[in-house]
Structure 1
């Protein structure tokens, strides 16, 4: 037990010295079973994971591609794509279904999935014919002042995650490290909770454990999103390449 405490004290020290602006997490891998036991994660990683819960279904299908979806939602998405506009209600834009807007507290984490391009959720329009100060997020909305279509585009620019802000934003506080399980269960992390996890997984030999630091970019973000819909061993499948997971 003393060896375990020393081991996790070392992990905690290493994590506290890391670059807090990077989006990465440290996996604890059982090399004998080829399985991720859990991961140490920062606020940014947890905010990203929680943001997945707020994504509209249409956005998820668009990100993963309709052909890569499990089940029939991909076909439903394709039906809307192929449906002629003459069958739609007047003033209804297909993008309301195909590219729904996700305005959420953790939206600053979405660039992990969209490669910093989330323009469909960040465009606004104003009237170019009069001095109205009204704006709309739907192109062509009648101006309340002159009734002409509001079509002069204004693009919202979100602050970079590395830029200091008055508040942290996102969903969780950044003063602690979080534990992310293989099935994406998230809890605050402590030495006691880490040791409890080792006991839960019946780990007898600390020497069989390996640390693996992984970064989260667009590719990894999309893989996490897809794996979360397919398996309960998400981290193992994405970062260890376990096709059976």
Structure 2
């Protein structure tokens, strides 16, 4: 079995003098990863980052609800609806962020083997009509259509190269935009710039998610931050 961790290749434009990343040049896979972050429920974000790594009080809220006895929970309510929400995300984000196993790309639907009047996503649910366990896998009328619609194939087209700013602004790569960026940051000597190829894997993805909630200089924080082990020439 292969133990190779998934990764995405990125090209960074680094201002060595200012010690910052001006932009990243990337393809569809990285842009899809970034946009997938917008689809993550807050409960999933907290689980990924762990309560110790969260800013503010949301981590405490999550932990206290997780520890709350079932005695105080409404009978029809389920803790996992908030703590482990089901989500449908781009496959690259699920892999890079090591999302929990309930972040499936497809979802099965179940019914009871008796009256078959209701369906559920949870095979342990009881049928509200006859009381049987709803563990019988239900079939979709158009299985092929269901399969194709349950898998998110990403968000942007794979026809151009994209540029991602330090604050995560995304736009198609262009010479004019690059020149405008150099003017914006008052780069006077191109000798101060370096192109650096890096691999973006699971460790970076977790740092990226956390930094995106805290910072306006995400690329710099992740690749040039104090906890970065990158040998980037600065």
The aligned residue for residue 195 of structure 1 is 179
Secondary structure, in 3 states, of the residue corresponding to 1:171?
Answer: coil
CA separation of 1:133 and 1:174: change in aligned 2, threshold 3 A: farther
The aligned residue for residue 126 of structure 1 is 110
CA separation of 1:135 and 1:26: change in aligned 2, threshold 3 A: farther
CA separation of 1:184 and 1:143: change in aligned 2, threshold 3 A: same
Q: CA RMSD in A?
A: 2.8
Unaligned runs of 5+ in 2: 1-5, 139-150, 228-234
How many aligned positions are there?
209
Unaligned runs of 5+ in 1: 1-20, 155-166
The aligned residue for residue 87 of structure 1 is 72
| Shift in Å, 1:39 | 0.7
| Shift in Å, 1:138 | 2.5
Of the candidates 36, 40, 62, which is equivalent to residue 77 of structure 1?
62
The aligned residue for residue 111 of structure 1 is 95
Q: What's the TM-score once normalised by structure 1's chain length?
A: 0.76
Q: Give the whole-Å Cα distance in 2 for the aligned partners of 1:213 and 1:197.
A: 20
| Shift in Å, 1:145 | 8.0
The aligned residue for residue 157 of structure 1 is none
Q: Give the whole-Å Cα distance in 2 for the aligned partners of 1:136 and 1:55.
A: 22
CA separation of 1:133 and 1:211: change in aligned 2, threshold 3 A: farther
The answer to whether structure 1 residue 219 and structure 2 residue 203 are counterparts is yes
Q: Give the whole-Å Cα distance in 2 for the aligned partners of 1:76 and 1:22.
A: 33
The aligned residue for residue 160 of structure 2 is 176
- Asked if the contact 2:29/2:92 (under 8 Å) is kept, the reply is no
Q: What's the TM-score once normalised by structure 2's chain length?
A: 0.79
CA distances 1:198-235 after superposition (whole Å, capped 9, x unpaired): 11111111111111222221111110000111111111
Secondary structure, in 3 states, of the residue corresponding to 2:64?
Answer: helix
Of the candidates 19, 25, 28, which is equivalent to residue 10 of structure 2?
25
The aligned residue for residue 159 of structure 1 is none
Q: Give the whole-Å Cα distance in 2 for the aligned partners of 1:206 and 1:217.
A: 29
| Shift in Å, 1:29 | 0.3
| Shift in Å, 1:242 | 4.3
Secondary structure, in 3 states, of the residue corresponding to 1:36?
Answer: strand
